[in-house]
Amino acid sequence: MTYTPPPRDPKAAPIRINLLSDTQTRPTPAMREAIARAEVGDEQIGDDPTVNLLCERVADLLGKEAAVFLPSGTMCNVAATLVHCRPGDEILAHETAHIIAREGGAHAALGGFQIMPLSGADGQFSPDAFRKALHPRTRYQPPQTLVSVEQTANIGGGTIWKKAELDEVVKIAKANGLATHMDGARLLNATVATGITAHDMAAGWDSAWIDFSKGLGAPVGAVIAGSRDFIDEVWRWKQRLGGSMRQAGICAAACVYALDHHVDRLADDHANARALARGLAQIAGIEVQEPETNLVFFTPDGTGVSGEKMVAALRQRGVLLAMMDGRIRACTHLDVTAAMIEETVGMVREIVRKA
C-alpha cells in the first residue's frame, strides 16, 4: 500500500506537474514572509507566542479545550493512542487506516497495542460493522479502548465520512466505554466540500487533529486537540518522543497563515480533481473513482497499459503520480493548476493512443 513512484531516470523530463501528494506543496512567497516575521520563543516551556496562537485557534476550530503543536500527523496519532490506551489494549480502525498501513507499526512497537482492522467500502467501516466487532469484556480478550476514523479516508479515495455516521460511531463507542479519535489529516478538505464546520465534524470525538503540511501548504506540522487533561498527557508523550521544539514559531507562523489564506481555496483542488476524473473517464479503458475531495484514483488496465507503465511513462514526461494499493493516485493541491490538469489528461490520452 506504499507510495511507489518509479525510480529516477536521468533521461526523464524535469518534474513540472507534481500530483504525487499534497505533501509536495511549497510555501508560497507570502507564507515565507509570514515565517520571516514570526514572533518566537521557547515552545517547550510554553513561551512561543506564535505556537500558542496556533494552538488556541485550532482548539477553537475543533471545539476542544486545548491543543498542542506537533511535528507531524503521525506523531499526533501515536501520541493520542499512547494516551488513550494501555499495553495490550485493542484499537478498532478501518483496515486501510493510516495507523495500520502508514506508521511503521509504531502503535505496536511503542504502545504494545493491537489494532483490529474493520472492513468497509471506500476506506470507511459502517457503524454496524463497528458494533459487531465489539466483544464482551472478559479476561480472555484484549480490552477494546479506542476507535479511530480517518477523515477523509485516503486509501478509500479521499472519501468523506458522513456526519450521521460519525455521530453513530461516537454513540456506540460511548455506550461501550471506548474513547474516540479522529485522524483529521485532511479534515478541512471534508469541511470545505460539505459545508459542515470542523467544530461540528469533530463533535463528540475525544481527540482530533489537522495536518498543515498537506492541502494547507505549510512545510511542516500538525495540531491535535482535546480536553485539557488529554493534552497535558500528549505533552508528556511529545517530550518522550522528542517532539518538543524551541523557536517553533517559525513553523507555526506558516500554519497560522494557512488557516487565514489556504482553507477556502481547497475548493479549487476539489474542482481540479473532478476535472481530472472527468477527463480520464472519457478515455476508453480507464476506470476512475469519482472524487469527493482532492484525491483521484484510477486504473488504466483496460487500455492495455498497466498502472506501473502509465506512471513510468508520465514520469518520463515530467508528471509525477504514485501507485497505491494497485491503483494510480493523483493528488491535487495548491501547486497544481487547471492548465496542468488539462495537460496531464492530454498526456494520458497520448500514452494510451500510442499503446
DSSP per position, 5-57: PPPPPTTSPPP-EE-S-GGG----HHHHHHHHH-----GGGT--HHHHHHHHH
In the β-sheet with 295-299, what is the strand arrangement from edge to edge? 287-288, 295-299, 327-331, 322-324
Give pLDDT, residue 132: 98
- 38-261 is classed CATH 3.40.640.10: yes
- One-letter amino acid for residue 108 of the chain: A
Cell of 113: 497495542
Contact 297, 289 (CB under 8 A): yes
Helix residue ranges, H only, 85-140: 98-101, 106-111, 127-133
Domain extents in the chain: 17-26+265-354, 38-261
Cell of 138: 472478559
- One-letter amino acid for residue 214 of the chain: K
Contact 22, 185 (CB under 8 A): no
**Residue-wise over 300-331: b if at least 16 C-beta within 10 A, else e?**
beebebebeebbbbbbebebbbbbbeebbbbb
- At the top level of CATH, the class of 17-26+265-354 is alpha beta
Give pLDDT, residue 3: 54
pLDDT tens string, the chain, 355 residues long: the values are 455 555 667 677 899 999 999 999 999 999 999 999 999 999 999 999 999 999 999 999 999 999 999 999 999 999 999 999 999 999 999 999 999 999 999 999 999 999 999 999 999 999 999 999 999 999 999 999 999 999 999 999 999 999 999 999 999 999 999 999 999 999 999 999 999 999 999 999 999 999 999 999 999 999 999 999 999 999 999 999 999 999 999 999 999 999 999 999 999 999 999 999 999 999 999 999 999 999 999 999 999 999 999 999 999 999 999 999 899 999 999 999 999 999 999 999 999 999 8
C-alpha 178/C-alpha 354 separation (Å) is: 55
Q: Is 304 left (phi over 0), alpha (psi -120 to 50) or beta?
A: left
* 17-26+265-354 against 38-261: fold identical: no
